[in-house]
């Protein structure tokens, strides 16, 4: 009988309604995992139904506010009740802010930190609590960004860059703390990818597309499905010796 690497395992993907999150969820589903798509956007149940139809695995959609402890705890409980204890987590939920620092309100700054860093922490914590209680080994992949490593221009986004650098350090910190508990944590740092949000943005601002692509040695943006294999590797047993790392996948942007 043929099996796939994640048969019998449950994966949670935040920011799963569209874009990179949904693409990663699709990759996990094709490798046999049952999928919980978590997002605050309406219509997540319909997205889950479509993914279940196309992949043949169990998929549920759960609304969640990753900045709210009660909401996050309830979401993990729902996943556990409906699919079983999750042992794979991809923290993909995030927001950006393209505003000069001098014009950035503290409220806006805090919102970015709360979603990108706080949301990653809260979801990881509740996920880890569930896995530890069930005495199951688990893996987490956080989505950082190449913006954690370089100040990519011409946009001004100090709040976003800072939040993603924090995600990379959070990844290292949780990796060391939780490895003895059977939970392995890593991150990926995508560069410019042609996600739904990016396509919408550059359609309205074609000059930004040209500015970005001109700085990418690969000469193009990445496609969302190009993230899948790296996430599959990091979550899987083949990466058991990979701990607390952030892997750039950016067409060479950060090395020139």
Rounded-to-integer distance, Cα 91 and Cα 16, Å = 9
160 noted as active-site residue: yes
Residue 202's SS3 state is helix
Please tell me the distance from the alpha carbon of residue 140 to that of residue 12, in angstroms, as a whole number.
Answer: 10
Look up tokens 């139904």; give the residue.
Answer: 49
Asked if residues 140 and 184 have their Cβ atoms less than 8 Å apart, the reply is: yes
DSSP state of 115: I
Q: Which of 106, 160, 192, 241 is flagged as catalytic?
A: 160
What are residue 38's DSSP bridge partners? 14, 62
Handedness of CA 90, 234, 228, 195 (dihedral sign): positive
Phi, psi of 139 (to 5 degrees): -135, 145
Instruction: State how far the Cα of 94 lies from the Cα of 117, in Å rounded to an integer.
Output: 9
Contact 198, 148 (CB under 8 A): no
- The three-point CA angle 144-148-150 to 5° equals 140
Q: Measuring CA to CA, how many Å separate 157 from each of 2, 95, 100, 256?
A: 47, 11, 7, 20
* Distance, CA of 232 to chain centre: 13
Length of the chain: 256
Q: Cite the active site residues.
A: 160
């Amino acid at each position: 009988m043929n099996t796939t690497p994640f048969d019998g395992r449950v994966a949670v993907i935040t920011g799963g309604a569209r874009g990179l999150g949904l693409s990663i969820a699709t990759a996990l589903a094709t490798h046999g995992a049952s999928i919980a798509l978590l997002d605050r956007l309406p219509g997540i149940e319909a997205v889950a139904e479509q993914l279940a139809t196309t992949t043949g695995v169990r998929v549920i959609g759960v609304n969640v506010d990753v900045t709210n402890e009660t909401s996050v705890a309830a979401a993990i409980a729902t996943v556990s009740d409906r699919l079983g204890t999750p042992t794979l987590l991809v923290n993909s939920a995030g927001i950006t802010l393209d505003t000069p620092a001098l014009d950035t309100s503290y409220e806006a700054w805090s919102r970015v930190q709360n979603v990108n860093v706080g949301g990653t922490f809260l979801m990881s914590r509740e996920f880890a609590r569930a896995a530890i209680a069930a005495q199951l080994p688990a893996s987490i992949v956080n989505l950082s960004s190449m913006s954690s490593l370089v100040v990519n221009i011409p946009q001004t986004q100090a709040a976003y860059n800072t939040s993603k650098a924090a995600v990379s350090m959070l990844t290292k910190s949780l990796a060391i703390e939780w490895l003895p508990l059977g939970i392995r944590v890593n991150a990926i740092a995508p560069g410019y990818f042609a996600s739904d949000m990016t396509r919408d943005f550059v359609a309205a601002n074609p000059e930004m597309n040209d500015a970005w692509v001109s700085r990418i040695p690969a000469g193009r943006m990445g496609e969302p499905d190009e993230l899948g294999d790296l996430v599959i590797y990091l979550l899987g047993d083949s990466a058991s010796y990979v701990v607390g790392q952030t892997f750039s996948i950016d067409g060479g942007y950060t090395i020139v």
